[in-house]
């Protein structure tokens, strides 16, 4: 769980309510730990950062637009309201970036959480700003998330979710429900948990990037993997059914279940028990060696091994 919300989760567990006024007094924190990496920023640009905090009532759909240039992190918790951290950054090559900080407004009322700030001639090569968001939401929540140049991360949430980003990665863990996500230029990682998917299914796609599905041994699902410019490599026996072509494979894992779909346009798919890597093609097929994850297991981040020299892929290879 994110350190920044540790106190909130502890308070909820003991039934303690944090007054809204207490959060309001903390808005505009320049010394917040989330600003540490900003302070280590570019040498040729002055940077300013502050974190604003908000407490919102629960709503049927939690919508966030992090454009321009912001990321979104969402974590489920057992509270009944929504906690929001908004990291506001400004930068400038020819002036004080704090000068236009007051022109950036984080809007939490209305249909979606978003920000407004300077545009046009005031912002360009020498000046800029962004707002990134971290949210704690009830475990059962519907989400609509969008970013232009930033990543999206969702953990421990059940519901209907639709999210997309143009240039940024996507990280998902402990999800359930009807989940759909897209990125144009970025990687996707999905950590599945339990024995099967609870809900309609998962559909993630990338145009240029890496897709990693971490699947526990024994997980039941209908799996669909596909690539437009790439190939497939399967390292253990599986039953293939339905139509199979050079761009898509669909199969049942351990008797089948909800649909788990992972598609890449420019990539190659390698399917291993316990882990699936969909690798971006850069001059040939990249091989991967992965150790099977045991059951029961302790969830740990998977680290890709060294990548050997490119080689010509077979269309379909099974062993």
DSSP string, 39-100: HT--TTSEEEEEEEEEEE---SEEEEE-TTT--EEEEEES-SSEEEEEEEEEEESSS-GGGG
Beta bridge partners of 212: 189, 277
Q: Which two tokens stand for residue 22?
A: 């207490």
Query: What is the per-residue pLDDT for 161?
Result: 98
Tokens 């316990």 locate to 274
> pLDDT tens digits, residue range 26-83?
347 888 889 987 766 566 778 889 999 999 999 999 999 998 899 999 999 999 999 9
| Cα–Cα distance for residue pair 197/217, rounded to 1 Å | 13
Q: Which two tokens stand for residue 148?
A: 């232009």
Q: Is the omega angle on the peptide bond into residue 209 within 30 degrees of 0, that is, cis?
A: no
How many angstroms separate the Cα of 184 from the Cα of each of 68, 262, 316? 16, 14, 26
- Residues above pLDDT 70, as percent of the chain: 66
Query: What is the per-residue pLDDT for 22?
Result: 34
H helices of the chain, in order, are 6-13, 20-24, 36-39
Query: What is the per-residue pLDDT for 138?
Result: 98
Q: Which two tokens stand for residue 170?
A: 């996507």
Q: Which residues of 120-134 are buried (b: 16+ CB within 10 A; e: fewer)?
A: eeebeeebbbbbbbb
DSSP state of 276: E
How many angstroms separate the Cα of 14 from the Cα of each of 84, 131, 239? 21, 32, 49
Residue 35 and residue 49 in contact, taking contact as beta carbons nearer than 8 Å: yes
Of residues 1 and 312, the one with the higher pLDDT is 1
Which pairing describes strands 82-92 and 46-56: parallel, antiparallel, or unpaired?
antiparallel
Query: What is the per-residue pLDDT for 217?
Result: 80
| Cα–Cα distance for residue pair 97/120, rounded to 1 Å | 16
Query: What is the per-residue pLDDT for 125?
Result: 72
- Residues above pLDDT 90, as percent of the chain: 39
Average pLDDT, the chain: 76
Query: What is the per-residue pLDDT for 315?
Result: 38
Residue 91 and residue 45 in contact, taking contact as beta carbons nearer than 8 Å: yes
Which pairing describes strands 188-191 and 248-253: parallel, antiparallel, or unpaired?
unpaired
Arithmetic mean of pLDDT, 212-233:
78
> pLDDT tens digits, residue range 253-311?
889 999 999 888 876 555 545 555 555 444 333 323 233 344 433 323 333 334 344 34
Query: What is the per-residue pLDDT for 317?
Result: 45
Residue of 260, 261, 259, 279 lying closest to 269 (CA atoms)? 279
- Total Cβ atoms within 10 A of residue 84: 21
What does the angle CA 99 – CA 111 – CA 184 come to, to the nearest 5 degrees?
A: 75
Arithmetic mean of pLDDT, 165-183:
96
Query: What is the per-residue pLDDT for 244?
Result: 61
> pLDDT tens digits, residue range 96-125?
888 888 889 999 988 899 999 887 666 767
Query: What is the per-residue pLDDT for 270?
Result: 53
What is the reported pTM?
A: 0.77
């Amino acid at each position: 769980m994110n350190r920044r919300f540790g106190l909130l989760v502890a308070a909820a567990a003991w039934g303690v309510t944090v007054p809204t006024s207490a959060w309001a007094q903390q808005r505009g924190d320049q010394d917040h730990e989330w600003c540490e990496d900003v302070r280590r920023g570019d040498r040729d640009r002055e940077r300013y950062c502050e974190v604003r905090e908000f407490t919102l009532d629960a709503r049927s759909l939690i919508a966030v637009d992090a454009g321009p240039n912001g990321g979104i992190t969402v974590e489920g918790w057992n509270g009944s309201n929504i906690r929001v951290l908004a990291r506001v950054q400004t930068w400038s090559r020819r002036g004080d970036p704090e000068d236009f900080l007051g022109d950036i407004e984080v809007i939490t009322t209305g249909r979606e959480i978003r920000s407004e700030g300077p545009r046009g001639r005031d912002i360009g090569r020498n000046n800029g700003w962004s707002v990134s968001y971290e949210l704690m939401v009830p475990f059962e929540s519907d989400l609509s998330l969008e970013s232009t140049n930033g990543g999206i991360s969702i953990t421990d949430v059940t519901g209907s979710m639709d999210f997309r980003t143009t240039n940024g990665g996507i990280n998902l863990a402990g999800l359930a429900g009807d989940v759909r996500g897209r990125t144009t230029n970025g990687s996707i990682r999905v950590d599945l948990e339990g024995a099967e998917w609870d809900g309609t299914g998962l559909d993630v796609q990338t145009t240029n990037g890496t897709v990693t599905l971490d699947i526990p041994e024994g997980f039941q699902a209908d799996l669909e993997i596909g690539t437009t410019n790439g190939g497939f490599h399967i390292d253990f026996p599986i039953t293939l059914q339905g139509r199979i072509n050079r761009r898509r494979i669909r199969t049942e894992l351990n008797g089948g279940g909800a649909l788990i779909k992972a598609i890449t346009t420019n990539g190659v798919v390698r399917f291993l028990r316990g882990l699936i890597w969909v690798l971006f093609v850069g001059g040939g097929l990249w091989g991967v060696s992965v150790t099977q994850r045991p059951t029961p297991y302790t969830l740990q981040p998977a680290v890709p091994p060294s990548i050997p020299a490119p080689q010509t892929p077979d269309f379909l290879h099974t062993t």
